Amino acid sequence: MTERQTVVVIGAGHNGLVCATYLARAGRKVLVVEAAAQPGGAAITREFAPGYRVSAVAHLLHLLDPVIERELALARHGLSYARSSLVNVSLSPGRPALSLDGGDVIAGEVSPADRSALQVHAARMQKFARVIARQHARVPPRLRFESWHDVLPAAAVALDIRLLGRKDMREFLRIATMNIYDVLEEQFEHAGIKGVLALDAVLGTRLGPRSGNSVYTALYRQSGSVNGRSGALALPQGGMGAVSNALVSAARIAGVEIRCGAQVEEIIVREGRATGVRLRNGEELRADRVVSNADPKTTLLRLLGARHLETEFARRVQQLRAVGTAAKLHLALSGRPQFRGLPAGLLGERLVIAPDLDYIESAFNPAKYGEFSAQPIMEVTLPSLHDASLAPAGHEVLSAVVQYAPYDLKGGWAAGKRPFLAAIMAVLEEHAPGIGALVQHAELLTPLDIEQQFGITGGHWHHGELALDQFMMLRPVAGAAQYATPVAGLYLCGAGCHPGGGIMGSAGRNAARVIAGGR
Ligand SMILES: Cc1cc2nc3c(=O)[nH]c(=O)nc-3n(C[C@H](O)[C@H](O)[C@H](O)COP(=O)(O)OP(=O)(O)OC[C@H]3O[C@@H](n4cnc5c(N)ncnc54)[C@H](O)[C@@H]3O)c2cc1C
């Protein structure tokens, strides 16, 4: 009888858990070792003030692969939604709130021309986003074609684009490398529409609306679905930790062992092959395969070490751009804030502070020079309005992604955090007068805090910038884009791989298919 192949997965982020579960189902003996005290990585719910709980980093679920949700039976393992489809609300102190649901205007003053342009734009972007979505579940093609096996994935991408039809294909190819600023200027008059749509293109990136590549990031952002609805934004019941809890339960049922508080210090290499890991406490764990959910720089430069890599490959990993710009704000509020011009019924939606394109570009400008935005853009949610488990009765939790907060802040975050929080609160106060007086506790996580607390290099949303020179067969770098690294027995399975970041699970599932030999 042959012994079962053993696998150690470094990290119990959602991708590590997905990968581990598929590998266990494929007959492997899988141990997940996680540095933090609880599994989930950046997809956890935690208490940030007595009685107040929040999705600590990722807070909106919109990219989780429905195939994974179904195959791992996550609903059966406890995943449900407090809200499965939030609408977008653009806030601007000088005008009534504008509310958009995909291609429909729910509230706000919008011209007939803009209404019909929005319908056309939303339908076309959804169609293009589906092309991107189809790539998520595929292992990227190789740059070098050695057999038909290598040609077919590349041909599939070309076919997906061709199947758009001549007119849409031409438009797809025209805008794919454009910036979102120019695309939106071509189509809309209303500043608020342009602001909301541009925010989606830059969230989690080091891009402004005028940066190249920002149409691709906009399409990526829209490429998911929730409950069969494309582009929907959901709040899991119990916060983002509920996704990880369901994944943990599915993993355990499949036979995966998960050890928390077990930080890997080193990937052990013998005769050119990864043979296990050494933990911080000195314990060595042997394995036939080592899979890392940690980001590519952590895995390849710190845990493995450049000495095990060819110089050219190591240089590529060193050059990976992974400088985070997204901060996370959590406010414990003693009551409901009131936003100017916002009907009470819309308070629980996704509130967007990005009133126009130039506001976003101006917020981005300082980040180019290592400074934070004096007037940041924000994606604000009040999850406790939908989920009573998050705050004491009558109290609320505000959870916001705030940009731009460059990881490499000039002068450092020790000095910069307090003035940045003051700048954020000044913007919030302008939109919701009196909100400051409701604040019982404020937690601001800068990209440096995210790096230190969640082990993500640069605190980067995608474990490495999502850009055309760092995507698909170039993600994280050429030579590791099919999840296998140049070191035999060592694989990657996190957001730094194709397709990228977001609570999606696709990198974990694709990596498992490669490792189990069924790509
Ligand atoms: C501010 C911010 C807001 C975001 N908001 C959203 C959002 O609303 N929606 C969304 O879909 N996405 C969001 N994201 C992106 C999302 O959080 C990430 O892309 C996603 O969590 C990556 O998942 P992962 O499993 O690949 O990696 P991670 O979640 O980073 O998990 C990696 C795991 O590996 C562990 N690890 C690392 N090193 C070691 C080691 N040496 N030993 C043992 N364990 C180790 C870590 O502790 C961690 O648990 C946001 C990101 C940021 C920064």
Q: What is the pLDDT of residues 185-238, one digit of tens each?
A: 999 999 999 999 999 999 999 999 999 999 999 999 999 999 999 999 999 999
CB-CB contact of 268 with 275 (8 Å): yes
Decide the pairing of beta strands 490-492 and 289-292: parallel
If you measure from the C-alpha of residue 58 to the centroid of ligand 1, how many angstroms do you get, rounded to a whole number?
8
Number of C-beta neighbours around residue 288 at 10 A: 18
492 with 480: CB under 8 angstroms? Answer: yes
Tokens of 374: 């004096």
Residues contacting ligand 1 via CB (< 6 Å): 10-16, 33-36, 41-43, 57-60, 63, 204, 263-264, 293-294, 298, 303, 324, 326, 328, 401, 450, 454-456, 459, 461-462, 494-495, 501-503
Tell me how many degrees the CA angle 417-501-7 measures, rounded to the nearest 5: 115
| Dihedral over Cα of 88, 223, 25, 43: its sign | negative
Residue with tokens 């913007």: 427
Q: Is pLDDT above 90 for 519? A: no
The answer, yes or no, to whether residue 1 has pLDDT greater than 60, is no
430-446 pLDDT, tens digit each: 999 999 999 999 999 99
What mean pLDDT value characterizes the chain? 95
Identify the structural domains of the chain with CATH numbers, from first to last: 6-44+63-80+240-321+461-515 (3.50.50.60), 114-230 (no CATH)
CA 345 to ligand 1 center in whole angstroms: 32
Provide, rounded to the nearest whole percent, the portion of the chain with pLDDT above 70: 98
Q: Rounded to an integer, what distance in angstroms lies between the CA atom of residue 130 and that of residue 304?
A: 36
Q: Helix, strand, or coil here: 78? A: coil
Over residues 353-358, mean pLDDT: 98
Model pLDDT for residues 131-177, shown as the tens digit of each residue = 999 999 999 988 776 776 667 777 888 888 888 888 989 999 899 88
Distance from the alpha carbon of residue 398 to the mean position of ligand 1, in angstroms: 21
Each residue's pLDDT tens digit, 243-255 = 999 999 999 999 9
Ligand 1 atom showing the smallest separation from residue 447 Cα:
53
Q: Which atom, in ligand 1's list, is nearest to the CA of 454?
A: 47
Segment 282-307 mean pLDDT: 98
In what order do the strands lie in the sheet containing 95-101? 104-107, 95-101, 88-92, 350-353, 377-381, 396-403, 327-333, 439-445
pLDDT value, residue 518: 47
Ligand 1 centroid to residue 194 C-alpha, Å: 29
Which of 456, 457, 504, 510 maximizes ligand 1 atoms within 8 Å of its Cβ, making it the mutation to test the pocket? 456
Q: Please state, in angstroms and rounded to a whole number, the distance separating the CA atoms of residues 396 and 463.
A: 31
pLDDT for the residue numbered 352: 98
Nearest ligand 1 atom to alpha carbon 504: 11
Token pair of 365 as six digits: 């400008």
The per-residue pLDDT for range 67-115, each reduced to its tens digit, is: 999 999 999 999 999 999 999 999 998 888 899 999 999 999 999 999 9
Q: 450 pLDDT exceeds 50?
A: yes
pLDDT tens-digit readout, 496-507: 999 999 999 999
Instruction: List, as one string, the DSSP characters of 7-50.
Output: EEEE--BHHHHHHHHHHHHTT-EEEEE-SSSSSBTTS-EEEEET
Please give the helix or strand (H or E) that residue 20 lies within, else none. Answer: helix 14-25
Ligand 1 atom nearest 445 alpha carbon: 1
CA of 456 to the centre of ligand 1 (A): 7
Q: What residues pair up with 350 in beta bridges, in sequence order?
A: 88
**Is the per-residue pLDDT at 2 higher than 70?**
no
- 395 with 52: CB under 8 angstroms? yes
The HSE-up count of residue 258 (CA atoms within 13 Å, CB side) is 28
Nearest-CA residue for ligand 1 atom 13 is: 58
- CA 234-239-242 angle, 5° bins: 95
- Ligand 1 atom nearest 303 alpha carbon: 41
Q: Is the peptide bond before 209 cis (omega within 30 degrees of 0)?
A: no
Report the percentage of the chain scoring pLDDT > 90: 90
Q: CA torsion sign, 237 to 238 to 240 to 244?
A: negative
Position in ligand 1 atom list of the atom nearest CA 507: 26
- Beta strand 350-353 with 439-445 is unpaired
Secondary structure of the chain: what % helix, strand, coil (to 5)? 40, 20, 40
Tokens of 480: 């590791």
Distance of alpha carbon 262 from alpha carbon 92, whole angstroms? 47
Residue 469 burial (CB < 10 Å; 0-12/13-18/19+)? exposed
Q: What is the pLDDT of residue 424?
A: 98
Q: Which of 422-426, 464-468, 504-508 has the least mean pLDDT?
A: 464-468
Mutate to test the pocket of ligand 1, among 32, 57, 83 (most ligand atoms within 8 A of CB): 57
Cα–ligand 1 centroid distance for 43 (angstroms): 6
| Cα(139)–Cα(517) distance, integer angstroms | 12
